[in-house]
Structure 1
Amino acid sequence: MRNYLKLGVSFLLVMLVVACSYSPSEKEVKDYENIPETINLNQLNTTKGILRLNKQEVTPNAEGIIAEIKLELPKFKKGIYYRPFSEKLAAGNRVEPLWFDDISELNNYKHQKPRMDSHVNLGAFMMLQQENGEYLALLPLTSNRIGNTFSVHNNNMYITMATYGTATENVSVPFVSYAQSKNPYEAARQVWELAMQMDEIKENINWREQKEYPEAYNYLGWCSWEHYKHKINEEIILKAAKDIKTSSIPFRWMLIDDGYLDHKQNALLSFGVDKKKFPNGWEPIMAQKDEKIKWFGIWRHFNGYFGGVSLNHHMPQLQDYLIERNPRGKRKFYMPKISEEAANAFYHEMTEHTKKSGFDIIKVDFQSDNFRNNTGASNAILGVHYNNTALEENTKSKGLMFLNCIAQQSFNVFNHRYSALIRGSVDYKTTKDRLDVTLVQNFANAFWLGHTHWLDQDMFFANFKETAQLMAVARAMSGGPIYLSDEPENIDDTVLKPLTYKDGRIVGTLAPAVPLPESLMQDPYADDKAFKVIAPLQNKTAAIMAVNLNQNDKEVTTQVSLKDYAFAGGMIQPYKGLWQTPKEGVLLYDYYNKTAQVLKDDYSFTLASRKERLLLLNPIKEGWAVIGRPDKYLSGATYELLNVDEQYVNIKMIEDGSLLLWTNGKIPTSENFEFTDLGNGLWQGNLINPVDSKEYIISKK
């Protein structure tokens, strides 16, 4: 394969050489003096490590590519490869997996529904299940000035090293981290851990649990986009706010999406409003804040607007920081110059206008377009770094609650040091194809992005009965934001009540839900298997959702096993390993069937097309298993287990309500609950004597 560095001599690496003192569990930073043409991964002598090019001058070709390095992969049984399924259009919301048995399948991939096109390059992550059953994770790395991604051609996998610019850079380049483990979640976590140890990267990214989760997103919200699209104005938003205030549904925030901006022919004039639509600016809208609608949010475009910043913009204070671009050769527009100063000026203007207008939440969209808008300039990757970093710093300093959107591309992801939220998929739609794609994207992307972000599954319609419950349960499992886009006046809250408490707080998870190992390595569209995801809850309860997304629309039979319980620990931070099976076992509670049983053999069930099942795995301790509030999807998160012994159990409810528990032959009694025997050891307690502390003792009669 061509090497675009004029080094004069090609370099072929046959094996990764490591010092003999390394043991298989140690890590290695393998440094290259020159860019190799080929790297053979068959002979890795460490289970984890970094591949890095030593500091030197690197010059991109006319396409902005420095080199393409062929990767010789080890033998494997199955692979999962993440790439944007759109080459240009909103690629940052379109990263999703392809499953393969051989690289030739990726090389020859043609568009198959429900996906949208055949693009396979700009790959962001890959995992191989090797013949010995272990998992090898591979993460291309992005530093301040150099972006690395996977590409596929000539029936081979390559690392594409690029700036997408013209300037020669004198830098060291960490370009891949790798990790091998029997546990797929640990392998994925370790490649991020290795990246965070590199000087060239560590200041730009952070663990999910080290970031501040925005307060508003702990509550139910509403967004204008799916219902109103661009057809919003002052009257429509004020009516929506009025309807939300009078609704019994506990919405706590509103997000005003695209359709308000001051622009001309899709090029930004200012960060203000279209005066024809919002003649009084934001003041009448912000006046609607109260105890019901506590926060307002606004949509922004990372590049100003779809056509960048207009050459006739109304922001003279920014003029010295803007530069003319025309990467597609069609229409000229302004972008921030590729400098730290220019990026700070531009995103200060965006966020300062947002804050002074009274907004609390900012959603910044179309981040993945930024490198394309600077393609052919000095260094497009450096431009992304400056711009994302400036946006991160400005939202943080102004106390804005920040949601990244169209930002899954690794060039952006590797510059999200503070922001905790990222959209996990393309926009929600009610069509079958879009339902399938968004579900798989959101949960499969959590497997690699969930180490640094919580994932946003987008708004949905509670009034679209065909899929409303599936959408609600999926969002509960995600641990991320939950918000609607129905016309606020008449929303059916049937599927919403199990999501939240009375004040709108979401009953959530301890970590993002991710596919179980068997679902991680199978194609949910074609393999005639259920797609199953798992999330950890409080009190060592595991939640599993199974859904049938097969394109043949046939029923599938699937099962949940005791061994699945351990994987609930896979995404918890700080990571403490997989969960141990409790000594007394695990109680399975089927939320839809309202039945419980001790999980010993597989629990099998059948799923019709596009139907789901929600199962809670509760630890048994001293002959008790507390399931929690039966009226909430994630019942195990509705209480805190304070103490338990053979005679009694002591809990604290997050919010008062009825209680479901199981006993091994005990008859429960309490001065606070009246218990009804539901059979098979299952008891429901109706609260008859609440106390302010919400602490209750249930004893053995």
Structure 2
Amino acid sequence: MKQPLLLTADPEGISVFCGANLLLKNLKPVINTDAGQIIPKLKEVSEVKDKITLFYAANGIRRFKLTVNKAERSLVFCIDLETEQPLNQYPGVVFNFDIGRVTGTVNIYPNKIWWTYPSFARSKKDWPERGQLTVVKNGGGQIISLLPLPQKNFLTHISSRGIELSAGCGGVTAMNGTFLSIYTASEPIKSIQENFRNARQMKAITVPLLSERKIPGFVDEFGWCSWDAFYRDMNEEKFIAKMKEFKEKNIPVKWVIIDDGWLHQKDNKLLGFEADPAKFPLGLKHLISQIKSILDVKVGVWHAFTSYWDGIAPGSELEKQYSDYLTTLPSGAIIPSLDPEKAYKFWSAWHSFLRDCSVDMLKIDNQGSYMPTVLGTAVVSEAARNAHTAVERSVAEHFGSPALPLINCMGNPQENVFNRPVSAVNRNSDDFFPNDNDSFAAHIVQNAWNAPWHSMLYVCDFDMWWSSHPDAYRSAVLRALSGGPVYVSDKIGESDFKKIAPLCDEKGRLYRFPGAAMPTYDCFFTDCRAAEKPLKLFNKKGDNFAVGVWNISDVPADGEISISDIPRIDSGGRYLAYEYFSKKYRLFDLENSIKLSLAKGEVQAWSIYPIRDGKVKTGDCSKYFGAATPVIREVPASSLLNG
């Protein structure tokens, strides 16, 4: 069913229709400057082929036009504005609008400065601040995604007030570029994905999509990170003990991250490139050599996007030695220079040291703090792009390219995700919190609803987990389905081979899906925890499908898996479904759905194989999702259904 997008414009504002159904009504600009607010008037509308240009005028405005590039399923909005007085830092331009009738809404917004999270509020007055994606189901059942886009000199967000453009710095009098892309499709995930592809094709997205990036090899191997094992209370003896445990238990760890806690710092400010001498008196190089003498692993280390959480210690030898490559902000914080060439030289010096210590990969953290750090000092989007470009240039030089061995972390805000030039892996959610018994529900929801948009740019890292934990199976199934890297953060003595083995082969190679796990159709616009219904995520590999089911509510939850719930599956086909924990097969087609009844905290892992000519090719049933493994056998489907 075609769902054309139509645009009308008059002095009351711009209105957008999806078919006959109103989507946006009376979208009109308000300009906020240091001299006060300006409400421009629409003076002229010009339409040439697939482009509409709207010209505005008002006192205090030197130039202002909007250009809308239109196609049957998309509208892409560009701004060209110059004012006489500087624009407000936040926001400089607001496009107010009313919304048509909707029956479902998802807004992706920063619930913390580092992370994004879904809101299901339907009423526009309840939409959250600084939204990065809005997906609505309108009164006609049509799905539309609104993607706000940053450019060099502004960020764009959606909130209850409208569409907001902000430079984040004083003295800016011009904004130029694409700020909004709208796309309609038959279902929400397709609407999001096609919106990204269309915006990239039109050069509105100015960094590569994931399909254009090179994925590092560690993504396909099982790993371990020190954070939840040690936090900052670490030393060489603890690392050695953990490596020996992996060897004794035959757990095939292939990479290790030395997380926060290894660096020499004071008051959250960096003192030097070397490891903390009190914790590692023999230095970083010795620690890594000891780790590699026990296990055949790649070793990575952690550092922050600004070197350490609060930058570099003033008066330190580090600051004195590299002062030419640093910037002191009005707050007093000292960070790598805002000049990308100077910042690169700082990172190159540090990364050269790390490489000499036999470091193989990096985790770069606290990226979302960059916006509040430089706010008011520099144009945020431009400064973030310069910072990402500088550090990734150094990573490529010292650790390998074009597939950078790098995990970006705490960096889901718009100014980060749309400004990384090369790297392909980004954390998809807030931390796994092993000591918070109620954290799993929020963790899986965040990962599930971030994945549809985030996976267009990056491999989604669903974070580390504990294999000895009340949520271990729920966490393991989530990572198995995620399509991203899988790594634990177990304490010494607490790695459970039984829960790890179904994720990978005996050499540590993961059975990874090529795409990210995402909500099924029927779950997308639903807060499953509040609705007390099972949360279902799907993935696909080749012709096989997989569905993970979790009860994240506080009571038992009933439901079903219907073939019509799963994107891209042949709804007219016949499939054989196998559930890992119950070891049972089910016929799965349009007439045979899978009935669900889950206890509180229960998880199910379903592999779904096509039946052709009465036969089915199944994968390794000893893994959480055999659908992601090579074919083990081909047998008549009836032999498994009747067995």
CA shift in 2, pair 1:4/1:228, >3 Å:
same
Partner of 2:116: 95
1:139 equivalent among 136, 147, 153: 147
| Secondary structure in structure 2 of the residue aligned to 1:525 | helix
- Equivalent-residue separation in structure 2 for 1:38 and 1:608 (angstroms): 57
Kindly provide the amino acid, as one letter, of the partner of residue 188 in structure 1. I
2:292 equivalent among 279, 289, 292: 289
Partner of 1:616: 607
| Secondary structure in structure 2 of the residue aligned to 1:270 | strand
- Give 1:322 shift: 1.8
Partner of 2:39: 10
2:257 equivalent among 255, 258, 279: 255
The answer to which of 500-509 and 162-171 deviates more is 162-171
2:531 equivalent among 510, 524, 527: 527
Partner of 2:97: 71
- Equivalent-residue separation in structure 2 for 1:292 and 1:31 (angstroms): 64
CA shift in 2, pair 1:180/1:199, >3 Å:
closer
2:582 equivalent among 593, 611, 628: 593
1:58-207 equivalence runs, <5 A: 61=87, 63-86=89-112, 91-92=113-114, 94-106=115-127, 120-152=128-160, 156=161, 158-168=162-172, 170-199=174-203, 201-202=205-206, 205-207=207-209
2:424 equivalent among 400, 415, 420: 420
- Give 1:469 shift: 0.7
Kindly provide the amino acid, as one letter, of the partner of residue 220 in structure 1. F
- Equivalent-residue separation in structure 2 for 1:404 and 1:506 (angstroms): 20
Deviation string, structure 1 residues 115-143 (Cα, Å, up to 9, x no partner)? xxxxx312111101111212111111112
Partner of 2:545: 542
- Equivalent-residue separation in structure 1 for 2:515 and 2:278 (angstroms): 44
- Equivalent-residue separation in structure 2 for 1:342 and 1:58 (angstroms): 33
| Secondary structure in structure 1 of the residue aligned to 2:491 | coil
1:259-408 equivalence runs, <5 A: 259-287=261-289, 288-289=291-292, 292-315=295-318, 316-327=320-331, 332-398=332-398, 399=400, 400-408=404-412
- Equivalent-residue separation in structure 1 for 2:44 and 2:467 (angstroms): 55
Deviation string, structure 1 residues 279-320 (Cα, Å, up to 9, x no partner)? 111222222325843200111100111211222232345211
Partner of 2:213: 211
RMSD of equivalent CA atoms:
2.9
CA shift in 2, pair 1:504/1:492, >3 Å:
same
Q: Does the 8 Å contact 1:163/1:382 carry over to 2?
A: no
2:230 equivalent among 203, 223, 228: 228
- Give 1:490 shift: 4.1
Partner of 2:9: none
CA shift in 2, pair 1:215/1:8, >3 Å:
closer
Q: Does the 8 Å contact 2:520/2:536 carry over to 1?
A: yes
CA shift in 2, pair 1:60/1:281, >3 Å:
farther
Partner of 1:570: none
- Equivalent-residue separation in structure 2 for 1:14 and 1:612 (angstroms): 59
- Equivalent-residue separation in structure 2 for 1:38 and 1:129 (angstroms): 30
- Give 1:187 shift: 1.1
- How many residues were matched structurally? 601
| Secondary structure in structure 2 of the residue aligned to 1:605 | strand
| Secondary structure in structure 2 of the residue aligned to 1:303 | coil
- Equivalent-residue separation in structure 1 for 2:52 and 2:440 (angstroms): 42
| Secondary structure in structure 2 of the residue aligned to 1:132 | coil
Deviation string, structure 1 residues 167-208 (Cα, Å, up to 9, x no partner)? 325452211111011122221012212332344642xx2222
Kindly provide the amino acid, as one letter, of the partner of residue 174 in structure 1. T
- Give 1:579 shift: 4.1
Deviation string, structure 1 residues 220-266 (Cα, Å, up to 9, x no partner)? 11111112110012222233233333331111111110011122211
CA shift in 2, pair 1:491/1:517, >3 Å:
same
The answer to which of 435-444 and 349-358 deviates more is 349-358
Partner of 1:241: 243
Which 5+ residue runs of structure 2 have no aligned equivalent? Answer: 1-28
Deviation string, structure 1 residues 503-556 (Cα, Å, up to 9, x no partner)? 011111121010012111001221122111100023x10000111112xx1111
Deviation string, structure 1 residues 538-597 (Cα, Å, up to 9, x no partner)? 3x10000111112xx1111111112234x1xxxxxxxxxx343465x1112222222223
1:510-525 equivalence runs, <5 A: 510-525=514-529
Partner of 2:440: 435
- Equivalent-residue separation in structure 1 for 2:250 and 2:76 (angstroms): 54
- Equivalent-residue separation in structure 2 for 1:362 and 1:103 (angstroms): 41
Q: Does the 8 Å contact 1:59/1:66 carry over to 2?
A: no
- Equivalent-residue separation in structure 1 for 2:216 and 2:55 (angstroms): 42
Q: Does the 8 Å contact 1:219/1:252 carry over to 2?
A: yes
- Equivalent-residue separation in structure 1 for 2:43 and 2:535 (angstroms): 39
- Equivalent-residue separation in structure 2 for 1:507 and 1:490 (angstroms): 23
- Match status 1:473 vs 2:477: yes
Q: Does the 8 Å contact 2:45/2:55 carry over to 1?
A: no
* Aligned sequence identity (%): 23
| Secondary structure in structure 2 of the residue aligned to 1:4 | strand
Kindly provide the amino acid, as one letter, of the partner of residue 373 in structure 1. T
Kindly provide the amino acid, as one letter, of the partner of residue 556 in structure 1. A
- Give 1:215 shift: 1.0
- Match status 1:454 vs 2:459: yes
CA shift in 2, pair 1:150/1:270, >3 Å:
farther
Kindly provide the amino acid, as one letter, of the partner of residue 557 in structure 2. V
Deviation string, structure 1 residues 639-673 (Cα, Å, up to 9, x no partner)? 15xxxxxxxxxxxxxxxxxx4655155xxxxxxxx
CA shift in 2, pair 1:270/1:69, >3 Å:
farther
- Equivalent-residue separation in structure 2 for 1:507 and 1:354 (angstroms): 31
Deviation string, structure 1 residues 453-501 (Cα, Å, up to 9, x no partner)? 111111111111x211110000010011111111243422111111110
- Give 1:37 shift: 11
The answer to which of 306-315 and 122-131 deviates more is 306-315
CA shift in 2, pair 1:161/1:383, >3 Å:
same
- Equivalent-residue separation in structure 1 for 2:466 and 2:85 (angstroms): 50
Q: Does the 8 Å contact 1:16/1:45 carry over to 2?
A: no
- Equivalent-residue separation in structure 1 for 2:80 and 2:288 (angstroms): 53
CA shift in 2, pair 1:122/1:415, >3 Å:
same
- Give 1:375 shift: 1.3
Kindly provide the amino acid, as one letter, of the partner of residue 397 in structure 2. S
1:629 equivalent among 606, 620, 623: 620
Kindly provide the amino acid, as one letter, of the partner of residue 617 in structure 2. V
| Secondary structure in structure 2 of the residue aligned to 1:526 | helix
1:24-63 equivalence runs, <5 A: 46-54=72-80, 56=82, 61=87, 63=89
Partner of 1:680: 641
- Equivalent-residue separation in structure 1 for 2:56 and 2:349 (angstroms): 43
CA shift in 2, pair 1:559/1:403, >3 Å:
same
- Give 1:631 shift: 0.4
| Secondary structure in structure 1 of the residue aligned to 2:218 | helix
- Equivalent-residue separation in structure 2 for 1:73 and 1:351 (angstroms): 50
- Give 1:58 shift: 8.2
Partner of 2:4: none
Partner of 1:500: 504
Kindly provide the amino acid, as one letter, of the partner of residue 408 in structure 2. N
- Equivalent-residue separation in structure 1 for 2:521 and 2:563 (angstroms): 14
| Secondary structure in structure 2 of the residue aligned to 1:307 | coil
Deviation string, structure 1 residues 391-443 (Cα, Å, up to 9, x no partner)? 22222232151001000001000012321111111111132331111111111
